[in-house]
Chains A and B, each alone.
Chain A
Amino acid sequence: MRRHRVLPYLLVAPTLCFVAVFTLLPLGEVLVGSLFKQKLNIPKYQHPVFNGLGTFADLFGDPDFLQVLANTGIYVLVLIPLLLIVALGLAFLVEAKLKGLAFFRLSIFHPTVLPMVSAATVWMFFLTPGYGLWNQALRILGYTGPQNWVGNPSLALFSLILVAFWKNVGFLMLFFLAGLQGMDRSVVEAARLDGAAGLRMVTRVILPLIRRQTLFVTTIAFISAFQTVDHLFVLTQGGPSGRSTLLLYYLWEVRFDRMDIGRADAVTVIMIAVLLAFTISNFLMSERNEK
C-alpha cells in the first residue's frame, strides 16, 4: 500500500526534475532578477542592486514600452481572429469536393514549410517600394496609395501581420480540416434534415462539434503570435520609430543590445504573466465546456 503511494511520484520524478531545472528554476531566477537593477554595460550597475518593483514602474512609465505593448496588442488582436476565420473558411473550401483539390491544399499549405526568415525575405521582395509585387497587384485594382509598406509608421505593423498570416494560415487550416473530417456526420445530416443551413449550420452545429480543435488552434496561434520574431529582424527591425516593435523583439533588444538584465527580466515576467493568464483562462474555459 505504502509502495503504491511512492511509485507514482517516482514515475513522474524525471519529468518533474526536467520541469524544475528547465522551467521553474529559470522562472524563479527571472522573478528575482526583475527586482534588481543590473546593467552589464554600466560599471556601477554591473552587480545587481535591489530595486524592488522600480523596474516595473519604469517600464509602465516608459512611452516606448507602452508603444510596444500597444503594438503587441494590435498584432495579436488583429492576427488571431483573422487567422482563425480564414483558416476555418479555407478548411471548408478544401474539404469540398473540387477538381484539383490537392493543388489548392498544397498552395495554401506550402508557406507553412518555409522558415519564417525565408517567408519574410520573400515578402521583403513583395513589399519593395515602387515595383514590389504587392504594389503591382494593388495597382491593378486601381490603388495608387502608400507604396512604402515597411517604412510607413501606419503600415509597418500591418506588413508584419500580413507575413505572419500568410505563413501560418495553412498550418491552422490543417487542424480545422482534421476536425471537419473527423466530426460526427450523422449530427450534421440530422441538422440538415431539421432545416439547418448556411451560417446557422456553421455556428450552431459545426463549430460546437469542432470545439476542441478551435481551442487548440486558438492556443497555438496565440502563443506563436508572441513567439515569432524572425520577420521583424528581416522586415522592419521594429521601426519606423518603434511602431512595429513587438514584445519578444523588445526583450531581445533590451537584453542583448542594451545589456539591461533587470529590465529584460521584468519584461520576461510580464510576458509570462500574459501567456499564463491566457493559458489558464483557456484551460478553465475548456474544462467548463467539457462539463
Chain B
Amino acid sequence: MKRLAIVCSLLILGFAAVFAAPPVEISLAYPVAVDAPITAMLKGWAQDYMTQNPGVKVTLVFSGGYPDVKTAVQTAIQGGAKAPTLAVMLATDVYDLVNAKYVDSLDALVAQAPGGQAFVKDFLPAYMGNSTYKGKLWSLPFQRSAVVLYYNADLFAAAKLQPPKSWDEMGRDAQALTVDGGKTRWGIEIPTENPYWTFQPLAIGAGKNVYTDDVTVNFNAPEVIDAVQFYLDLSQKYKATPAGVQSSWGSSTQNFAAGKTAMIIHTTGSLAGILKSAQFKVGVMAVPGRKAGSLASVTGGGNLYLTAGHSPEEQKAAFAFAQFLLDPARVAQFSQATGYIPNRLSAGKTAAFKAWLDKVPQAADAVAALAAAQPELATQNLNGVKTIFNKYLQSAFNGSQSPKEAMDAAQKESDKALDDYR
C-alpha cells in the first residue's frame, strides 16, 4: 500500500512536471545607443519581474539605435518570425508602424488590465500626442526627451551676461563668448547632421512648427524660412558658430563640457552625461524664441510599442511587464540615471525624484522647458518626408541654396511624398 502511494505520488509529480504550463515568453527590444547605464538597470528590472512572476520569462534584446530596433521588428514580421513582443521605437514612427501593421493597438489590454485606464491617464499629455492614431492607443511614452539650450553659467557670469531671452540676445551672447574666431571657444553649437529635430525649436521660436498634422507640413512658411536664416546668421552675422552643416551630435556635448563651446542646443537625454563631466555650473532652459521672452522646445524620444503577431497570453504578459517598467518609482529612477524627463505625472511627485530635483536643479529646468515644447515632426511616410526636409535644410545651411529656395523645394517634394495619404 505504502509502495503504491509512493508510486502514485511520483506519477502525479511527473505529470505535473510534464503538463505544467510552460512560462509565457516575452521579449523587449531596446535601442541601447544612449550614454547611460540603462542596460544594467533594465536587466535588473527584468530579473525582478521574473522573480515576482515565475510564469513569465522576459528576454531583453539590445540593438544599436532606433532604426536598428525598427529594422529588427520589420525583418522578423516580414520573414514570418516572431518580433520582440515589446519594442522601444521612435514615438513619431506611429503612422508608418500602424499602416504597415507592425504594431497592435493597446486598447483591449488597457481595458482588461487592473487600473489600466488610470495608468494611461497618468502620462504627461505632451507625450501622449504621438500615442494615438485612428482613435486607438498604440504606444506608451517610454524614454521621452526634449530639445533644450545648455549654457555655461560660469562663462555667462564672468562676462556679466544674463541667459538669453531672444534670438538677438542669443546671437549677441554667443558672439561675446566666442574666443579667437572659435579656435579657442565657439559661442554656440547646434548639431545638424540630422538637422530637423534641433532645428524645430528655431522654427517654433519664430512662431510656426514645421508641421501641422500628419499630412500637412509648413516647410516654406515665412517663419520657418526666417528660422533657417537665423541659423545662418549665427555663423555669418554673429560669427559665433562654425559655418555650414555640423556633424557634432557626439562632439558638441564633449566640447560644451570641456568649455570649448559656451552654449549647445541638444537633447535633455544628454543631461546626466554633461553634468557628470562638466566642471562648471551648467544652465538648462528652453531655446529662446524670436520675440523677447518667448521660449521654444520640441519633444522627442521613444515609445513602447506592442508588436504584431503575438498570442493573447503573450500580449497580456507584455502589457503587465510594460506597467511594471513604467511604475512611477522606476520612471523616476530611469530619469535620474539618464536625464530623460519623467513621462508620468506621478513619477515627478515621488519623494525620491523631488529630492533629486532639489539636488540637481537643472533637471527641474529640463522638465520646465517642456511647457514650451511642441511635438516633433510626425507625418505619414515620415522617413520620406524627413529625408527631404533634412536634405534641403542642409542645402541651405551649407549655402548651396538660399533659405527660401531650399524651403520651397522641400515643401514641393514633401507635398508630393504625402499625396498618397490625402
Contacts and interface: CB of A to CB of B under 8 A. Distances in A.
Interface string A237-260: 101111000000000010011110
A34 B245 CA distance: 35
B8 to A, nearest CB: 52
Interface stretch (A35-43, A80-88, A106-114, A277-285): A35-43
Interface in B330-384: 380-381, 383-384
A124 interface: yes
A42 B380 CA distance: 8
Given A236-B193, A256-B74, A258-B383, A148 B247 contact: yes
Contacts of B387: 242, 253, 257-258
Interface string B245-280: 111101100000000100000000000000000000
A128 B383 contact: no
A45 interface: yes
A246 B160 CA distance: 49
Residue of A131, A152, A153, A239 ringed by the most chain B CB atoms within 10 A: A239
A129 B242 contact: yes
B245 A148 contact: yes
Contact of A258 (B260, B384, B391, B394): B384
Contact of A257 (B99, B183, B248, B383): B383
A129 B400 contact: no
A284 B291 CA distance: 70
Contacts of B397: 240
B100 A153 contact: no
Interface in A98-125: 124
A41 B96 contact: yes
B193 A151 contact: yes
Interface in B50-108: 67, 70-71, 74, 95-96, 99-101
Contact of B391 (A46, A147, A152, A241): A241
A44 B398 CA distance: 38
**Interface size classification for chain B:** 35 or more
B420 A257 contact: no
Contact of B381 (A41, A131, A152, A242): A41
A89 interface: no
B196 to A, nearest CB: 12
A39 B383 CA distance: 13
Nearest to B254: A128
B343 to A, nearest CB: 26
Contact of A240 (B70, B74, B394): B394
Contacts of A42: 99, 380-381, 420-421
Interface residues of A, number: 32
Nearest to B183: A130
Contact of B100 (A41, A237, A239): A41
B182 interface: yes
Nearest to B99: A41
B129 interface: no
Contacts of B96: 41, 259
B244 interface: yes
Contacts of A128: 251
Contact of A236 (B244, B247, B260): B247
B150 interface: no
A132 to B, nearest CB: 9
Given A40-B100, A42-B381, A258-B381, A239 B245 contact: yes
Contacts of A164: none
A256 B394 contact: no
A241 B244 contact: no
Given A42-B381, A237-B194, A253-B383, A151 B99 contact: no
A237 B193 contact: yes
B394 A239 contact: yes
B27 interface: no
A237 B387 CA distance: 11
Contacts of A225: none
A150 B245 CA distance: 9
Given A152-B398, A256-B67, A258-B383, A239 B193 contact: yes
Contacts of A45: 420
Interface in A169-185: none
Nearest to B248: A129
B380 A147 contact: no
A240 B401 CA distance: 13
Contacts of A148: 242, 244-247
Given A41-B100, A258-B383, A151 B247 contact: yes
A151 B387 CA distance: 16
B392 interface: yes
B314 to A, nearest CB: 23
8 contacts: A42-B421, A44-B420, A129-B242, A130-B260, A152-B398, A240-B394, A256-B71, A256-B74
Given A41-B381, A239-B193, A239-B194, 6 more contacts: A64-B391, A150-B193, A239-B390, A240-B244, A241-B398, A258-B384
Q: Top 8 closest A-B pairs, CB basis? A: A151-B245, A257-B383, A240-B394, A40-B100, A41-B96, A240-B245, A241-B394, A150-B247
